[in-house]
Amino acid sequence: MSSKTEETGKAGVIVAPETAHPVEKISHAVLDDLLYNIVHDLLVKVHRDEKTARANTAAIKVEKLAMNAIDGATTDPKPDVEIETDAAIYKDGKVMLKGNPLKTTKEILCPRCHLPRLLHPTDGKGARKPDPGVIYCKKHPYIDKPGYDIYGQTWVAPGPGRGKKKKDQKLDPNDPSSPAPVEGSAKDRPPNVLSFPSATCSKCKRCILVTRLNNHMGSCIGNSGRNASRAAAQKISNGSNAGSQNNDNTPPGSQKGTPLPGSRAASPRKRDVDEFDEDAEESDPSNPKKKKLKLNALNKKVILKAKSPAIPGPNKKDKPKGSSMLNVEQKVDDDAAKDSTVQVLPKKQTPILKGLSPAKKIKLGPAKPPLPSPAGKKGKRDRDMESESSGTMSSPPR
């Protein structure tokens, strides 16, 4: 502040009235200066990120041109090429800027993969449509949209019977008919709705839906306090299945068929579905991913029917068959998907996922392929990845 009392500080935003007392004027000026400093610090930070990214982009581009010019054959750190772009010069193995990169360079290339960065989120606040002809770096701006996570994903709410709640509908505004029949809303359902995966209990090697894993481990491993008695009671009532020692003798199919303790799937109809699931799995154990998705669709249909008392039980059996055709199609997709990126998947799977109603979740647990042999750690991780990625219709819609 200079010796004279100014009406305002450097930002010129917080201004004292002309008639104000000098002390008041000074405090306005001080506050105004502080505001200026906040904005200044913020700008310096953003400026640094942006300008450095653009300068590096200019360098990456000119280096690429230089490498092309020398065919990348030489390992000489100072290849004898001189390349000049609008933004930079490549000479003696060094990159020199030309002008201000904020003016000369418009896009930002990822310093790691050298692909252009997507600069706006694809959904939610500040969203813009990305250019479909451009392959972007996989690091995308995070999505800020109520009900969705930073990747634009949303989840089917856990637990049975929640599909019709208002809360769930809010989560999925694109699909107001989510509890409605599968066929109707197939196109509307975003491909980014995930379901809950299953995991293997490290002791008994059974596949447990993640939301019940803690419960299961408490009784399977915990063995303490009143859980012990509970576990013992379960063992007695379930026969050999609950004990880990007997696992090897138990065919995986029957292990799966055993309802979990505390499972809500108490109705015999549901159990039928489970068994069917297992059969489907066993027919093709190599493809746990697709299977699970398929099963979701299956289950869904079944459940929907089950909800309406008018439809008799036997219908259930028909549905699965219909979906086993789906099965084949699905496999084709799967192969294609393996070679290409994950992005391919969402579209094709959309119809299946869309149908997913919360009630089905419970089924997902047993739907996972049986893992009867305690595979090595490595193997376990691979499996986890696989099964997790099955749920990953995660890439934001393009």
Partner 1 sequence: MAARPAIPASPKNHKVKAPQPGQPMYGCEHIQLLFNQGQAAIDTSIQHYKAILRSIFDTTPLISQTAKLTDGPTVTSLTPTYLCLQCPFTLTEEDRARHGTKKSHRFYVDSRSGALYCQMCDDIVWDPTFEELRLRKMGTGTFSTTRKRKHEDMFEASDPVRDNPTYISSNTTAASCKANGLRGIYNAGATCYQNVVLQSFLHNPILRNFYLSDGHQSSNCDVPHCLSCAMDDMFQDFYALENTNGYTAANILSGFWISEKKAFENLVTTKEQDAHEFFQFLAEELHERNGDGKRPEIGSEHSCNCVIHQTYYGKLQSTTTCQNCNGVTNQVQSFLDLSLPLENLSQKRGKKGSSRPGGILTLQECLDEEYIKSDKCEYRCHNCNSMQQARRQTSIKRLPNVLSIQLKRFEYKQGRNERAAKIDTPVQFPLQLNMLPYTNRARSQDVRDNYELARSCTYDLLTVVVHVGEIDTGHYMSYCRVGDQWFAFNDHKVELAQKSDVLNSKAYLLFYIVRSLS
Instruction: Give the shortest CB-183-to-partner 1 separation in angstroms.
Output: 26
SS3 category, 154 = strand
Q: What's the 3-state SS for 25-56? A: HHHHHHHHHHHHHHHHHHHHHHHHHHHHHHHH
Q: What are phi and psi of 24, to 5 degrees?
A: -65, -40
Is there binding between residue 112 and partner 1 (CB under 8 A)?
Answer: yes
Please give the residues from 32 up to 91 whose contact with partner 1 meets the rule CB under 8 A. Answer: 33-34, 36-37, 40-41, 44-45, 47-48, 51-52, 55-56, 58-60, 63, 88
170 burial type by CB count under 10 A (0-12 exposed, 13-18 middle, 19+ buried): exposed
- Span of 135-143, 159-167, 248-256, 359-367 interacting with partner 1 by CB under 8 A: 135-143
Nearest to 53 by CA among 126, 123, 137: 137
Is 230 exposed, middle or buried, given 0-12, 13-18 or 19+ CB atoms closer than 10 A? middle
Which 368-397 residues touch partner 1, going by CB under 8 A? 377-378, 381, 384-385, 388-389, 391-392, 394
Q: Which of 12, 17, 72, 93 binds partner 1 (CB under 8 A)?
A: 93
CA distance 145 to 174: 13
Task: Mark 136-175 with x for binding to partner 1 (rule: CB under 8 A) and - for no binding.
Answer: -xxxx-xxx---xxxx-x-x--------------------
Binding mask 325-344 for partner 1 (x = CB under 8 A): -----------------x--
Shortest distance (Å) from residue 95 CB to partner 1: 5
Is 304 or 337 the residue whose CB approaches partner 1 more closely? 337
Tokens of 122: 């694809």
Amino acid at 233: A
Binding mask 220-259 for partner 1 (x = CB under 8 A): -xx-xxxx--------------------------------
Minimal distance, residue 140 CB to partner 1, in Å: 8
